[in-house]
Chain A
Amino acid sequence: MMKPESRHFFSSPKGKTSFYRMLRNRFLTGLCIALSLLTLFPLISIVILVIRNGLPLISMNLFTQLSPAPGLEGGGFGNAIMGTLVMVCISLLLAVPLGILSAVYINEYAPVSPVSSAVRFVAKLLTGIPSIICGVFAFAAVVMTSQHFSAIAGGVALAILILPIILLTSEQALMGVSVSYREASYGVGATPFQTIWRIVLPDAMPAIMTGIMLAVSRAAGETAPVLFTALFSQNWITSVFEPTASLSVLIYNFASLPYAYHIKLAWSASLVLVTLVTLTNILAQMIFSPKQR
């Protein structure tokens, strides 16, 4: 117990000294910092591991050459990079118009209709569906009917995967557009179409683009949907109607081979994929960061 004279205005009323309070404060702060660092740990170790194992083989050849036959060395995986890009493009061509237009419908035209609630509910449900189910569906719907593994089938599987992402982020983006812009536009006699096309969509575009970029990085990284829709190929892609290589399936295939060089190629492919996805994400944040209002 402190002497009365030493007590001052800021002294604890219950007689607890500020020392214990400070100690507890510091301990909890330290705990929070430690746990945050722990969260970062797996992420950082993945990046370090991928860079350390993938970097040695990085050269221009990786991007321009085909993979070597099993047991041989040299070459790269240009066809897999190409295949991934082609399939991502196909999935975007399918999912972007569908996703944005659906979002416009459920947010602008009929925000409270049963159709909109159904679309919203299904989209949220679809985001939780395991990606392999998208692959199985595309296999049944495209591969079985066309009797071919193909880039188209892979694109369809990825499109199903990213459609709900694009739809929901676009809906959020449209919801973020100030009501006062809509009022101003309707107030001068604009039709709903003019308001959406000239005012709402341009204002929501940066946020919609961010959603699309996220979808791109998701699609580029997925293995399961393309595994038995696009299958794989040792050759350059010449048509979207034939089996096509992709980075993710290449990693899966090569990592399970008993040849040291192919395993190294798989590491390098991982590095390329991680870089691609990270760059897309950073780009999305930089270019389309929400503007100041």
Chain B
Amino acid sequence: MRRWRLVAPLLLGLLLGSSQAFACASCGSGGDDPLILYPNEVDKIYIGFARATAFKNVDANGRFSTSGGPTAKDTLTLAYGHGFSPRAFVTGTLPWLRNSRQEATHTSLGDPSLAARYALVMASMAEPLIPQVQILAGYKQSMTHSIHDSVDLKTQLDVFGTGFSEAKLGVDVWFGQLDWLAGAAFHLIKPLPHSYDGVRYEPGLASRSTVTAGYVFSTACKTTFGANLLARGSLRGDDVVQADSEQRNHSVFVTQDWLISPVESWRLSLSRQAAFGANKNTARSDGVSLAYLRSW
């Protein structure tokens, strides 16, 4: 009995510690939510630097065409998350952006966003084939310049956002208790209409589907990879549907996580937008990001 008193906390510690490497969510591996809290975490920060280059537009016919905007886009993302319980947490994200083209650069704060997740089904080491199931909601406030109100359209260096606030709802399913990882997430994204130059624009309802797979090499090393499929409906201008304005973007990512201490990790991600399939009215780009995460 006395021995169990000593061993039980140790086993509990191992379980909680290993959950940092095993439990996860599909989107935290390369989708749009950079920060995911594990059940045992109360506070967590994310500091990430990302660079996107090699921009090439994909036109309405799915053909590559010239992109005249910045040649590089850098993003410094700061995110903070707070867990209210092992099932529920919220995150706030604020990006700082820099657009570059030859020698010229412009910087700006990006659009801040809030997100909340609630685990309907918790993952358990005892039943590893039962996935974690989370529902999520989020909101992104459009604050920065978009192509619709740019004052430097020739270089587009002052274009940092889409120009539309967005609300989203989704579900995320994650098998994270075995060495092999797998997950899928589905988001519905509703952009809010906004008027520019007297015209009321309303981008179409969008869906983002994410599929992720991965492997845990050790409690300190995890590799995940996957694909995002973004589909957006037609743009409306003054309630008139703009012909051929639907968007499609099929992107891929690979992410490497290193746990450097029980509460700290580094994450390196590579991604390509418009990487495969039939893309439309979007842009091809290659991205690399490095992030530091710490929890309390």
> Do the two chains belong together in a single complex?
no
